[in-house]
Structure 1
């Protein structure tokens, strides 16, 4: 009989701290990631059993095409992972269910915030960022590791546009923040695997659905990347995420993801459409009270566009360092500022920095 699920439904509201993820393994201690990202036991929680995993799948939000444990064995009985959204204990989660160590079950559940924060509270520069979300066309890219706040930034930026009479379309896997339809904007949110077969399929269809803003949860494959570039060059504001650590690495990874024969065309499309690349990382605060956002911003200066067009990605960090008047800042400069202000420690900054040598120079400057 399920033990963890009924316990969690009763105690979810009482769990302390700004925790982010549940990590559940069959027959083992249930754990969560606390406000500092440490994986620790959930106080008082029973160990999940197989019935709990059945119950977790019953909590999925999709109305049809619902996964079961049998869904974990796909074509020819091969094991597979399941991604879905669920509501448990009054909270929404993005879930990944998978096998490990020879067929044991594990599920990691990322807590999705019900409240979209005001953009002013994120810690990003308002005068540089907010005008980007109001542009009529072009590409905005947000990069960083899982849990770095990319989806939060996009949701807050889109929410700030809800006073305009526009159509905002999202393609997500799964849907994370629920955007309000109470404002002037029409909001349509589509979930891959439920509302469409794939990111690329939904994005191609989206071009025929009169969107002003298109948000793509992730640029995962060549087809999606190429379609996104077409959308950004054809009168749509296109925003999406990648998992690169820096702005320059974001551009390189996108181009490395497509066949070599397609790169010259994509270089030109990106150079024409790019508005900005924002790299994000959440760093533990020095006072132990959660995390603070550190960021890198690369806006589309003439030099940035020229270097993307010619494939000189190694010159982009220099463009960013010299582009302060255009709202640009390197991640290492942002981290150094946070250290000087006493918000984060030097060690925390070093752990988060893509280039520790550059950070050391910034700290000693």
Structure 2
């Protein structure tokens, strides 16, 4: 069972992921759903051969750590990220295809005006959030590419692993990979501000130390871009606070009110036409009201402020889903399943004014 053939099949089928483990046939994730390939189950020897195919310096420490993330190019096929792990005593793999072309905001169905505005900021912290597989890395790559195309800046990235490869255009881009270019995340981040960056991209906010570096860098005049595994802006703010002990929360709230410029949260939905997936996007921009809420710790009021902040570029998931549905990009069923407030979305899509009864309009839900 050749890895190259499996990866080629992955690209042809437009699958986001390829999962390989012993005693089971390989499977592809297509539009979010698992599909087993019609081939024999993977043997321990085949798993070992796949492992040997992946040439990377990080493999040296794999048998001690039992988990690694890395990325690699398969000639003639494409670029891939892989997590190598052990399960039930055998090797396992989760591959993700990295598109060679970095798409722009319009091609990704992202709100162009607000994305451009956030990328044009001279300083501050901008976070892209969502669950695993929601397109965070793709959005972050589009943001880096926009800056690269439009501004003369030095962009430094710290990634584990490097996914999208950027070529210098108007900007110079320094891409550092944990394990090959730097010993670990924390070492790289301690030195990043000494490398004359204008923009710092941190692959993921993993812990308190990473967040401290991000907040400090944003405070000292850098634009910091990163991702978090949170589902919306409100949860993102709470997660940032929870990185720190309670006695520091007032200080962190003050810092967020001053430097948190935007939170872009994503959820991918299957397109109605079956041609891939499209993101529903919640956007929280640091409006005067939102800055005040952050400072005062009134996190539960953020949703209302986002809903009422359209003038500044804010939008809720429900507003984004409504737009996607009206453009005939997604089904009603998928829109309601992805909504934060499905009943409210249902009312909006039916054109019902708040406070009216369903029967007043002659239809049933």
* TM-score of the aligned structures, taking structure 1 as reference length: 0.89
Q: What SS is found at the alignment partner of 2:195?
A: coil
In the other structure, the counterpart of 1:227 is 213
Q: 1:328 aligns with which of 287, 306, 314?
A: 314
How far 1:61 sits from its partner (Å)?
Answer: 5.5
Work out the CA distance in 1 between the residues paired with 2:184 and 2:316.
34
- Measured on the aligned residues, the alpha-carbon RMSD in Å equals 2.0
Residue 211 of structure 1 deviates from its aligned partner by: 0.6
Consecutive unaligned residues of structure 1, counting only runs of 5 or more, are: 75-79
Trace 1:238-317 onto structure 2 (pairs within 5 A): 238-317=224-303
C-alpha displacement at 1:88, in angstroms?
3.2
Distance 1:200-1:360 versus aligned 2 partners, 3 A rule: farther
How far apart are residue 360 of structure 1 and its match?
2.9
Q: Secondary structure at the match of 2:180?
A: coil
Match of 2:155 in 1: 168
2:3 aligned residue: 5
Deviation, 1:157, is: 1.6
Q: CA deviation at 1:72?
A: 3.0
Match of 1:353 among 328, 333, 339: 339
- Please state if 1:216 is matched with 2:202: yes
Name the structure 2 match of 1:30: 26
Distance 2:323 2:108 in 1: 16
Distance 2:254 2:183 in 1: 29
Equivalence for 1:77 = none
Contact 2:21-2:47 within 8 A present in 1 as well: no
Q: Deviations over 1:90-123 (max 9, x none)?
A: 32221112222x3233211111111111232111
Q: Distance in 2 between matches of 1:41 and 1:92?
A: 22
Q: Unpaired runs of 5+ in structure 2?
A: 352-365
Contact kept? 2:10, 2:17, Cα under 8 Å? no
* Contact in 2 for aligned 1:333/1:362 (Cα 8 Å): no
Tell me how far 1:15 sits from its aligned partner: 5.3
Question: CA separation of 1:59/1:260 partners in 2, compared to 1, >3 Å: closer, same or farther?
Answer: farther
Deviations 1:7-48 (A, max 9, x none): 437xx16853321111001232111111x22111235x5543
Task: Determine the C-alpha separation between the residues in 2 that align with 1:85 and 1:138.
Answer: 29
Pairwise CA distance, 1:129: 1.3
1:142–1:37 CA distance, 2 compared to 1 (3 A): same
Give the C-alpha shift of residue 6 in structure 1: 5.3
Contact 1:140 1:276 survives alignment (8 Å): yes
**Secondary structure at 2:295 match in 1:** helix
Query: Aligned equivalents of 1:107 and 1:147: distance in 2?
Result: 16
Q: Which residue of 1 aligns with 2:62?
A: 71
Q: Which residue of structure 1 lines up, in the alignment, with residue 361 of structure 2?
A: none
- Name the CA distance, whole Å, in 2 between partners of 1:321 and 1:125: 15
Matched residues, number? 349
Query: What's the CA shift for 1:86?
Result: 2.7
Q: Deviations over 1:108-155 (max 9, x none)?
A: 111111111123211122222112112110011111111211111111
Superposed, 1:335-346 pairs within 5 Å as 335-346=321-332
Residues 193-225 of structure 1 deviation map (CA, whole Å, 9 limit, x = unaligned): 222233333222111111111111110101111
Partner-residue secondary structure (3-state), 1:252: helix
Question: Secondary structure in 2 aligned to 1:84?
Answer: strand
- Find the residue that maps to 1:205 and give its secondary structure: helix
